[in-house]
Structure 1
Amino acid sequence: RDRHQMLYLLSVLIIVLISQEALSTDYCNKDLCLPEITHIACRNYGDFDESCGSEAIIMKFPMHMRAHLLAVLNDFRNTVAKGQYPHLRPASRMATLRWHEELAGLAKFAQAL
């Protein structure tokens, strides 16, 4: 029982440490972007830009929709990688797309073009 408690506490500690590392990203760090560009998340506290209008909302993107989106994109990726897309040669080391929570969070800050 003591061993299980120790493993549980160690697991919790590791999760906390990893979470702190992920949350501690300094998006205002000058090394992240070119000198004339400010990172989209620098000093962004989740407020919408004026150009979004007063009706702007952040839509939920449930797990099943993420899975469907990734399946569609990876099917297209496979077509391209096999050389079955017009005017493109086959790719030998084209990575499979995966969901990335931090990038998804940063996408919330992006403005529509």
Structure 2
Amino acid sequence: MNYKILVYLLLLRTTFILAEFEDYCREDLCPTGRQHIGCNIPERSFCPPLTLLSITEVLKKFITDAHNHYRNYVAWGEDNHFDRACRMATMQWDDELAKLAELRVLNCNMEEKEKDCHNTENWLSSGQNIQVDHDFEGTSSILLFSLVFDRWYNASILMDREKIKSYSTENQDVNSFLLMMLDHNDRVGCAAISYDGKGGYLTYIVVCNYAADLNKNIPVYTACRETGASCKTGENSEFIGLCSINEKYDREKL
């Protein structure tokens, strides 16, 4: 099958799935001048022949567990670069964010990130991390995501307890780490593709969409002497440095 037809069919399949969620052409979903990635999906792609990675239930759990592992590590004060967190959410999977991430990877044009809007009715200020790599050939899906998340977290060496109080960086590597640590970020959805890139190397693109985005006027998280001191619904039984999955965040006040 012609790869352009294949990509179109993948886009069409994703479009039908997204139709279950909401009208993405609504003007109130995106900032002025930006079109939603789910509105009038183009019948084209910048991708060469590709493989869309299957996001299984096992992989979904791995992705959320990996995020929560790093969040718990920081919230509990295990990383001595940072203070403990007062009220850091447990990250959970969101199918809608994942399907919008799928549209993003099927486009392959990572140059357009700033123009991309991927908000939803539930998540009106959605954040996004993107990783493009060329040296993961032969890795499993779980190992791929593990390596990507390691890279995002490793940017933490460029931050400290003072800098994290006031987000003010344009460094995309640092932003990837900060988005993983944003305390009220309680939903994530990811997608990934692979294709034969230049020089014969296998290229991977990973996109993760989040419930919330970074805001220069809001701390990435609030520090406390006692981890989870401000959690209103108690701690997570598995990741005890995080609030329980029942914790609700008033995003209008954030």
Higher strand share: 2
Q: Distance in 2 between matches of 1:48 and 1:56?
A: 13
2:102 matches 1:108: yes
Residue 42 of structure 1 corresponds to 39
| TM-score, with structure 1 as normaliser | 0.68
2:27 matches 1:30: yes
Structure 1 residue runs of 5 or longer lacking an equivalent are 1-21
Alignment of structure 1 residues 1-113 onto 2, 5 Å: 23-44=20-41, 49=45, 51-53=46-48, 55-111=49-105, 112=108, 113=110
**1:89 Cα deviation from its structure 2 partner:** 1.9
Q: Which runs of 4+ in 1 moved over 4 A?
A: none
**1:92 Cα deviation from its structure 2 partner:** 1.3
Q: Distance in 2 between matches of 1:96 and 1:48?
A: 37
User: Structure 1 residues 26, 84: closer, same or farther in 2, change over 3 A?
Assistant: same
Larger gyration radius, structure 1 or structure 2: 1
Structure 2 residue runs of 5 or longer lacking an equivalent are 1-18, 111-254
User: Counterpart of 1:106 in structure 2: which amino acid?
Assistant: L
Greater relative contact order structure (CA < 8 Å, 6+ sep): 2
Residue 3 of structure 1 corresponds to none
Higher helix share: 1
Query: How large is the Cα RMSD of the aligned pairs?
Result: 2.0
- Aligned residue-pair number: 89
**1:33 Cα deviation from its structure 2 partner:** 0.7
Is the partner of 1:108 in helix, strand or coil? helix
Q: Distance in 2 between matches of 1:106 and 1:66?
A: 15
**1:24 Cα deviation from its structure 2 partner:** 4.9
